[in-house]
């Protein structure tokens, strides 16, 4: 015999379903929280390794209040001298935020860049992620005017993706500005 359909029965049934679903989601969150955190840490370490010179010790993540900066790391030599910085920098692109890891030497030279996340158009703005592309290669050892050539700078933009190129360049400029501000104060890591 089926239960009679009433407001009370429907409310009890809906409450039971919601409680069961909430319990399942809670268990899934608890089970996946640490693996997700581990994967994010591994991704951060891999991107740091891509943008900094080999060798040296890497600090724990440091925070700052600079606009668009999600944190930074300091690389030091064996005797504690700062050799480079890895800066997580985010700015708005054409399709949404563009987040980079930027390796910067203490003199403000860009050592290398790596894209952590983006929402740019596939085939156009997403070309900023292509390893070995002329756009990405120009950032290795870059020291110049941090603006696209269309705006009077030294950066060659991605064809048909000026907005993405400007966003990428702005993210790099934010990282370089942070390092220029830190370079005088962090010459030796303690």
What's residue 182's pLDDT? Answer: 87
Is 61 contained in some domain? Answer: yes
**Which pLDDT score is estimated for 102?**
97
Q: What is the number of domains present in the chain?
A: 1
| CA distances to 20, 81, 93, 165, 169 from 178, in Å | 48, 18, 20, 20, 14
Domain that holds residue 174: 51-183
74 belongs to a structural domain: yes
Q: Is position 15 within any domain?
A: no
Cα–Cα distance, 74 to 60 (Å, whole number): 8
pLDDT tens-digit profile of 50-97? 999 998 899 999 999 999 999 999 999 988 899 999 999 999 999 999
pLDDT of residue 100 exceeding 70, the answer is yes
pLDDT tens readout for residues 105-160: 999 999 999 999 998 888 888 888 888 889 999 999 999 999 999 999 999 999 88
Q: What tokens were used for 13?
A: 């049934």
Per-residue pLDDT at 1: 55
């Amino acid at each position: 015999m089926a239960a009679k359909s009433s407001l009370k029965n429907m409310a009890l049934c809906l409450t039971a379903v919601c409680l069961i679903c909430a319990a399942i989601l809670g268990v899934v969150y608890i089970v996946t929280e640490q693996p997700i955190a581990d994967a994010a840490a591994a991704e951060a370490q891999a991107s740091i390794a891509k943008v900094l010179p080999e060798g040296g010790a890497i600090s724990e993540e440091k925070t700052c209040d600079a606009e668009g900066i999600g944190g930074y790391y300091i690389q030091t030599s064996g005797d504690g001298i700062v050799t480079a910085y890895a800066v997580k920098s985010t700015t708005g692109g054409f399709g949404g935020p563009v987040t980079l890891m930027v390796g910067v030497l203490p003199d403000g030279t860009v050592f290398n860049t790596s894209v952590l996340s983006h929402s740019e158009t596939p085939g156009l703005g997403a070309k900023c992620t292509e390893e070995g592309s002329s756009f990405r290669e120009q950032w290795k050892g870059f020291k110049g005017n941090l603006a696209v050539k269309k705006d009077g700078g030294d950066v060659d933009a991605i064809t048909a993706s000026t907005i993405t190129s400007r966003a990428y360049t702005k993210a790099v400029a934010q990282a370089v500005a942070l390092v220029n501000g830190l370079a005088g104060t962090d010459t030796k890591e303690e």
